[in-house]
Each structure stands twice: as C-alpha cells, then as structure tokens.
C-alpha cells in the first residue's frame, strides 16, 4: 500500500528552468514532510522539509509548497542546474507511529540539460 | 566525521548463502533503520530500532533479521539469500524516532 504517491517518475528540464515534483498523501496524521536528494552511488540526503502549519518553505533555489486541504505537497527547483540532476524522494511521517517511521515516494529522476 | 558507515559496499551471494550487513553511526543517535532500494520502488523500510534494546518490523521484513548490538551498531542478516533480495541496502540513523534521518552510502547486494 503506497501511502505517498510521487510524480513524475522522470523529468528533463533545461538549464535555468523550473523543476516541479509533486507528491500526494492520504494519511491525515502525517505531520512532517521532508524531501531527500540522492546522487548516483550515494545515499539519500535531506534537502528540505516542511511541517503542515506552513504553506511554503524556501531554502535558496528550493521551495516546498504545501496544500493541507488537498493533501499535496511539491518541490520546486528554480533556475535548475546540471548539478541538480539526481533522484528526488518525497517522504512523510506521523509522530503517532505505526510500523513505518518514514514513508517514501517512489522517486523522481531529474535530468537538467544544458 | 564519518556519520553512518556500512560494510560491505558490494557483495555477491549465491542463493541460500547467509550474510550480515554491518552498520555503525558515530552521531550518538538513538534510532537506526535498514531500508532497501529497488528500481521504481523507492525506499522501503525493512526493520528499525527506535532505541537501543528495541527492534521492530518495517514494511518488508520477511527474509531478514536484525540486531541492535549497542547504541552505535545495527546489523542486518540474511539467513538464506534469495534472488529477490538483490537490492541496494541503506542503513540510516536519527537522533530520535521521528527526527531527520541520515543515510549511509549503501551496500550493493547481488544474489545469484
């Protein structure tokens, strides 16, 4: 049972363009939504995260937009660069527990081309 | 600062063989995790240890066992490897259950 649905599976963006990755969830108990970035041959690393009490969080070129009523959140990468080419995972967590502390989407492979 | 260290990095096993993946963290974290990553499947939790002395099953625990040896170390054992266990395995840790998770570099396992 997939609790976090991520789209698209892959994305090709021109250098300087905006990359947008979307995630949707069903469990209203989720209260923490991180995004992880993974380069080939490496482990995922936390990129940016948001809690549902805010609708947007920005760190440099990376912005998370959060729509609590729609149960959706998205990652926007402004001025995308070839160095941003990586796989991105959204995730969700509920402090109420259960047997899955952090649930991941299936990932989006981003390629930024010059 | 090494963070989360996994060994081995690469391993090829024959079906039915056993092996243990080792993981250690030097961040004094209380919680540790084992995930597997397969193409198109994202990251799936195998087992986790919310604190030293406890372990719990995750989403895909079948065919695996874990041991939280001490606060630093959390090992994953395959008792009788199967081709379906061919995957990339990631160990991870967090300060406490629910905090930011930090991943190791991964262990590539092939079962033939």
Interchain CB contact of A29 with B (< 8 Å): no
Which residues, 6 or more positions from B106, have their beta carbon under 8 angstroms from its beta carbon?
Answer: A41, A42, A43, B6, B9, B37, B88, B89, B90
> What is the per-residue pLDDT for B96?
82
Q: What does each C-alpha distance from B45 to A18, A93, B58 come to in angstroms?
A: 31, 13, 5
Within 10 Å of residue B62's Cβ, how many Cβ atoms?
Answer: 9
How far apart, in Å, are the Cα atoms of A29 and each of A63, A91, A98? 23, 13, 11
pLDDT band of A28, cuts 50, 70, 90 = confident
**What tokens appear for A26 in the block?**
């069903």
What's the pLDDT at A83?
97
Q: How far is B93 from chain A (nearest CA, A)?
A: 12
> What confidence tens digit (pLDDT) does each residue in A57-105 have?
999 999 999 999 999 999 999 999 999 999 999 999 887 655 567 889 9
> For B17-65, what is each residue's pLDDT tens digit?
999 999 999 999 999 999 999 988 889 999 999 999 999 999 899 999 9
Question: Which residues in chain A have their CB less than 8 angstroms from residue B44's CB?
Answer: 104
């Amino acid at each position: 049972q997939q609790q976090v649905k991520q789209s698209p599976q892959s994305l090709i963006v021109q250098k300087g363009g905006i990359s947008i990755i979307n995630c949707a969830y069903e469990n209203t108990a989720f209260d923490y939504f991180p995004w992880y970035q993974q380069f080939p041959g490496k482990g995922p690393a936390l990129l940016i995260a948001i809690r549902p009490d805010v609708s947007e969080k920005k760190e440099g070129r990376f912005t998370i937009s959060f729509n609590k009523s729609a149960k959706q959140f998205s990652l926007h990468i402004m001025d995308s660069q070839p160095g941003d080419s990586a796989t991105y995972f959204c995730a969700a967590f509920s402090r109420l527990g259960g047997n899955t502390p952090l649930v991941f989407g299936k990932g989006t492979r981003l390629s930024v081309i010059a | 600062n090494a963070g989360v260290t996994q060994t081995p990095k690469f391993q090829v096993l024959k079906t039915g063989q056993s092996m243990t993946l080792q993981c250690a963290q030097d961040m004094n974290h209380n919680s540790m995790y084992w995930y597997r990553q397969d193409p198109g499947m994202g990251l799936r939790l195998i087992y986790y240890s919310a604190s030293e002395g406890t372990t719990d099953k995750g989403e895909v625990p079948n065919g695996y066992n874990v041991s939280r040896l001490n606060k630093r170390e959390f090992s994953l054992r395959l008792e009788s490897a199967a081709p379906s266990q061919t995957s990339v395995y990631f160990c991870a840790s967090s300060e406490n259950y629910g905090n930011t998770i930090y991943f190791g570099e991964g262990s590539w396992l092939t079962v033939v």
